[in-house]
Structure formats: structure tokens, C-alpha cells
């Protein structure tokens, strides 16, 4: 999936454990694991807000967009 | 899961278990009825064999049992196998579906597929009922002795199949909801 979730990077920076973060954010560790491993299909704004609040960061620190190689090739072909 | 939903799920599981038990009794009743039919006067020579004009009725169709030919008895035997077999099969599919529900597996791909199977089983049973209704056309000494419901099972089955498609969509929505953090 092009959207990459960098929760583990922020966890390492804040030296926090997954279970602790889950407890502070108010979601289950299983749900947070789903987010961390990139299996999540969507994230609620309320969850994102709480994550940013607990990890003291911006949404851009947690979410990144990595365009897939096939998508890059298609856009280059379209420009030609 | 919210506490209200957990209570509701527990109720569904309990009711599904009870209905599953009733389903088991239905299947057992089908089996017993089949055995009684196959060992009844149509196929067994009793002490009054060849005497009188005994009419024996099964599922809305009566037979003049002592005057049936061998070919007609074979037709009735096959029809009884199909009739009770289809009913048993329908009960079995419902039992399997209720077993999913009793385990709390309501919106899953397997339960949606099982719901569709039950629908097709109902359609098959309805078609077999139509065949049973037409039996007097193939057998000389037979008649209808009560009104036979021939169409509703087919339509109910088709409705259940349509419901299974909706359940499959619900499964996709549930999976997407579960993966929403």
C-alpha cells in the first residue's frame, strides 16, 4: 500500500512500548499492531489526533506516501 | 465490542444453539418418517395383503396400496427417498448454519456461504415437493387427500440465496471496519 505508517519509528524516538501507547491512545494493542504492520485499511481522525497528542508529533511524522514503482512508470509513460 | 453488542451476541448464540437442537430433532424425524414409509403397507406385505381397498397417505398423496404394480412401487420408493432426502439435506444445511451462529461467527465468509447452501437446499426441496405433487399423474391408484404447498419452499429458498449475497457484502463491510483503527 502506498501509505506507510511510521508508528514504530515514533515509538523508538519516544522510547515507548506498543502496549503503553495503545493504553494511552485508548485502543487495543491488537488494533495498534494492525496499524503498525500496515494492514489497516483506514484510520479515524480521532485516533490520529490521539496518536499525535501522545507521541507529540505531527500527522506527517506518522504517515508517509511512497508511490509504487508501477505507478511511477505509468505516470512517466503518460507524460511522454 | 460494546457491552450492548456483547449481550446481543450472547443471546444470538444461545438461541442458535436451541434452534440447532430443534433442527437435529427435525432431521431425526425425517429419518424416522422415511423408515416408517419404507416399511409401510406400500412395500411390505401385511396380513391383509390383497384384501380390501386400503388407502395409505404420505405427505398429501394417498395410494391404493394393494393394487400398486411393482413399477409404481419403485416410483414411489424413489420419490420418498428424494422427498425425505431433500428435507433431511435442508435440515442439515440449516443445522450447519446455526452451528456457525452459535459460535458467534455471524458475519463471516463461511457463514454467508452456508446460508447460500441452505437457500439452494430449500429450492431443491421445493422442486422435489412439486415432483411429489405430480405423482398421481404417474401412478394410477393415487390421489391428493389434502392441499399440498408446492411453491413457497422454492421462493423462500430463492429469498435466502438473495439474503446470502447481502450477507457477503456485510462480511466485506465488517472486515473493512475491523481494519479501521
B75, B138 in Cβ contact below 8 A?
yes
How many whole angstroms separate alpha carbon A40 and alpha carbon B56?
Answer: 65
The CA distances from residue A16 to A8, A10, A13, A59, in Å, are 9, 8, 8, 18
A interface with B, Cβ–Cβ < 8 A, is: 27, 31-32, 34-35, 39-44, 47
**Span B27-43, average pLDDT:** 89
- How many contacts does A have with B, using Cβ atoms within 8 A? 22
- The answer to whether residue B3 scores a pLDDT higher than 60 is yes
* Minimal CA separation from B181 to chain A, in Å: 5
**Span B56-80, average pLDDT:** 84
Q: Which residue has the higher pLDDT, B100 or B150?
A: B100
How many whole angstroms separate alpha carbon B34 and alpha carbon B91?
Answer: 14
Which chain B residues are closer than 8 Å to A59 by Cβ? none
Share of chain A above pLDDT 70, in %: 85
Q: What is the pLDDT of residue B50?
A: 64
Full domain range(s) for residue B149:
3-180
> Which grid cell sits at A48?
490520529
Question: How many domains is chain B built from?
Answer: 1
Q: List per-residue pLDDT tens for chain A, 80 residues long.
A: 788 999 999 999 999 999 999 999 999 999 999 999 988 989 999 999 999 999 999 999 999 998 877 655 555 666 65
The runs of H, that is alpha helices, within B50-134 are 70-102, 109-133
Inter-chain CB proximity A47 and B176 less than 8 Å: no
Instruction: Give residue B47's pLDDT band: very low, low, confident or very high (50, 70, 90).
Output: low
Q: What is the ipTM of this complex?
A: 0.74
A16, B156 in Cβ contact below 8 A?
no
Q: Which residue has the higher pLDDT, B82 or B69?
A: B82
Out of A32, A34, A47, the one facing B179 most closely (by C-beta) is: A34
Amino acid at each position: 500500500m502506498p501509505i506507510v505508517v511510521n508508528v514504530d519509528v515514533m515509538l523508538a524516538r519516544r522510547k515507548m512500548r506498543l502496549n503503553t501507547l495503545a493504553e494511552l491512545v485508548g485502543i487495543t494493542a491488537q488494533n495498534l499492531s494492525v496499524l503498525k504492520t500496515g494492514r489497516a485499511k483506514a484510520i479515524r481522525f480521532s485516533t490520529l489526533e490521539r496518536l499525535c497528542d501522545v507521541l507529540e508529533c505531527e500527522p506527517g511524522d506518522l504517515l508517509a506516501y511512497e508511490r509504487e514503482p508501477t505507478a511511477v512508470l505509468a505516470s512517466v509513460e503518460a507524460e511522454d | 465490542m460494546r457491552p450492548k453488542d456483547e449481550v446481543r451476541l450472547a443471546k444470538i448464540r444461545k438461541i442458535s444453539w436451541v434452534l440447532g437442537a430443534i433442527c437435529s430433532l427435525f432431521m431425526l424425524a425425517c429419518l424416522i418418517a422415511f423408515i416408517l414409509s419404507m416399511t409401510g403397507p406400500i412395500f411390505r406385505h401385511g396380513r391383509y395383503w390383497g384384501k380390501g381397498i386400503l388407502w395409505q397417505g404420505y405427505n398429501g398423496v394417498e395410494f391404493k396400496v394393494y393394487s400398486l404394480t411393482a413399477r409404481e412401487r419403485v416410483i414411489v420408493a424413489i420419490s420418498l427417498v428424494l422427498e425425505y432426502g431433500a428435507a433431511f439435506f435442508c435440515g442439515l444445511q440449516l443445522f450447519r448454519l446455526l452451528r456457525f451462529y452459535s459460535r458467534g461467527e455471524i458475519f463471516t465468509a463461511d457463514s454467508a456461504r452456508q446460508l447460500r447452501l441452505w437457500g439452494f437446499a430449500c429450492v431443491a426441496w421445493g422442486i422435489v415437493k412439486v415432483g411429489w405433487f405430480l405423482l398421481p399423474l404417474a401412478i394410477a391408484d393415487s390421489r391428493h387427500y389434502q392441499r399440498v404447498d408446492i411453491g413457497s419452499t422454492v421462493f423462500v429458498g430463492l429469498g435466502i440465496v438473495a439474503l446470502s449475497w447481502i450477507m457477503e457484502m456485510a462480511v466485506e463491510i465488517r472486515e473493512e471496519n475491523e481494519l479501521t483503527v
